[in-house]
Structure 1
Amino acid sequence: MRIVPVAAVAAVVLAGLSSGVAHAESAPGCGPVTQIGATAYINGTSSSAWASVKQFKGCGKNWSYVYVWDSFVDRVGDFQIATWVETTTMNGYVKAPRNQQAVWSKGTDTLSVCTRAAGSMVDFVSNPDYAHTVKTEKRC
């Protein structure tokens, strides 16, 4: 009888992981926010990336978010990330302290215009003079 509840829980977890849409996360000073658009990846695809870049909406604002994957942190360990919401300019720019694994942009009053999330990462081990930068697709 225990197999059915375990299977049911596993099905729900797998469905949530494969849906392609992030569950609500919490932006600083806002609380739950919802991902809009697809995730972009710094240095490759979802299977080889160093970090993820996402755009969210919530509390009447847009937010961008960068998360450095554990596999990159464990392997390289010396990096710096930044993120912002892009319209025709950089909005809400935040640069994380060196080796901080995640960073949120400031919330931006840009829901009425087309935006995208942008994120950059400097790998101080392999090339300290170059920032790998990616952007999500534009959302209007």
Structure 2
Amino acid sequence: MAILTKIAAVAALAVPLLVAVPATAQASTPSGCSSVAQIGSTAYLNVGGETMASVKQYKGCGKNYSYVYVWQGYRSSHSSWDVCASIVTGGGHDLQDPMCGHNSVELWSQGAATLSQCTQALGFNGLGPIPYPGDVAVKTDVRC
């Protein structure tokens, strides 16, 4: 009987541990598209000597997307920030429907119907809709 009591006690203690373990995080995807793949390299947005964010370009659902992820270290040392994401064409001069956010951890641009063009992902720290003087911007490599 004492063995059964011990087994029951161990089982009772184990159940909360199993319930408390979080599920594996699901990777985010842009609004309206459930499957994307990164194309090209990752760029890094450095602001004031500190890495603020990673910038990546994705394709999926017939469109290109820019994705910006603001690093935990930057978020921990700043109480406020603004960030924007956009796909650029025309040699990096034409922005395609940028998305901007205040204190966003991750941000997807709107999908740009630019799969037949050479594109780059653009990320910048600012209020948008374009990088203004004083904003720091970075682009990924060109993908055609």
TM-score by length of 2: 0.70
- Output the CA distance in 2 between the equivalents of 1:67 and 1:77: 16
Aligned position for 2:43: 40
User: What is the CA distance between 1:77 and its match in structure 2?
Assistant: 2.2
Identity of aligned residues (%): 42
Larger radius of gyration: 2
Aligned to 2:5: none
Q: Secondary structure at the match of 1:49?
A: strand
Superposition TM-score, scaled by structure 1 size = 0.72
- The structure with the greater share of residues assigned to strand is 1
Number of matched pairs = 108
Deviations 1:61-86 (A, max 9, x none): 00001110011000112110001000
Equivalent in 83, 86, 93 of residue 84 of structure 1:
86
Unaligned runs of 5+ in 2: 1-26, 127-132
Q: Give the superposition deviation at 1:130.
A: 2.3
Moved over 2 A (4+): none
Instruction: Give the alignment partner of residue 133 of structure 1, picking from 134, 137, 144.
Output: 137
- Structure 1, unmatched stretches of 5+, are 1-23, 123-128
The amino acid across from 2:95 in the alignment is M
Superposition RMSD in Å:
1.9
